Amino acid sequence: MEDRNTHLTPEDLLVAAEAETRRLLARYGQPAPIEPPPDLAGRVIAALATPRPSPTSRLRRIYGTVVSVFFLALISLGSWGILLDSRGPANLFADLSSGLGDFFLFLTLAAKPLINLLLTAGAATLAIIGVVIAGGWIWWQLVHYEGRVRLEAHL
């Protein structure tokens, strides 16, 4: 369909359409538009229920702290074993003749080539890995937030 009034601007078209609509409404006896009451939007927003923030449970915070401390200790022990002394974490838990000591020594010696591979690839690889991890964390936060918002909307 072509616009018959090519000489009119969009604002003029809107004014003409509104005038035509008002003329048709007046012909059918429709009520004339009136101004809305003052502060209508403010009253509507005040009448809406304010959503309560979901309280984080104390147990959840405790679990988060325990898991964080565990991973920090694990990373510290791994760094000690890989960067300083391979036998250090194994000697901390048991001597090298026991099964537990052999297990920790095995984990340390298995991780050394992987860490050396990353370190020889250079700082660019480490930066890319950091960006990928940060992007994954941001994505998880967005997905987690969207799910929480949708869940609260259905309740």
Q: Is residue 45 part of a domain?
A: no
| Least confident stretch, 18-27, 41-50, 54-63 | 54-63
Contact 90, 104 (CB under 8 A): yes
Do residue 90 and residue 128 come from a single domain? no
Do residue 136 and residue 112 come from a single domain? no
- Angstrom distances, CA of residue 79 to CA of 22, 88, 130: 77, 10, 17
Q: Is residue 44 part of a domain?
A: no
Which domain does 139 fall in, by range?
122-155
Q: Is residue 62 part of a domain?
A: yes
Structural domains in the chain (count): 3
Q: Is residue 14 part of a domain?
A: yes
Average pLDDT of 16-23? 88
Closest to 89 in 3D by CA, of 107, 71, 72: 107
Q: Is residue 42 part of a domain?
A: no
Q: Is residue 75 part of a domain?
A: yes
At 54 the pLDDT is: 64
70 falls in which pLDDT band (50, 70, 90)? very high
| Least confident stretch, 26-35, 36-45, 51-60, 65-74 | 51-60
How many angstroms separate the most distant Cα atoms in the chain?
101
**47: its two tokens:** 């009448």
Q: Is the pLDDT of residue 122 over 70?
A: yes
Q: 124 by DSSP, 3-state: which?
A: helix
Do residue 111 and residue 134 come from a single domain? no
Do residue 107 and residue 135 come from a single domain? no
C-alpha torsion sign, points 95, 101, 102, 106: negative
Phi-psi group of 39: left, alpha or beta (phi > 0 → left; psi -120 to 50 → alpha; rest → beta):
left
Average pLDDT of 83-110? 81
Do residue 103 and residue 128 come from a single domain? no
Do residue 78 and residue 25 come from a single domain? no
Q: Is residue 39 part of a domain?
A: no
Do residue 75 and residue 60 come from a single domain? yes
Non-local (6+) Cβ contacts of 80 within 8 A are 88, 89
Do residue 67 and residue 115 come from a single domain? yes
At 90 the pLDDT is: 80
Average pLDDT of 19-48? 83
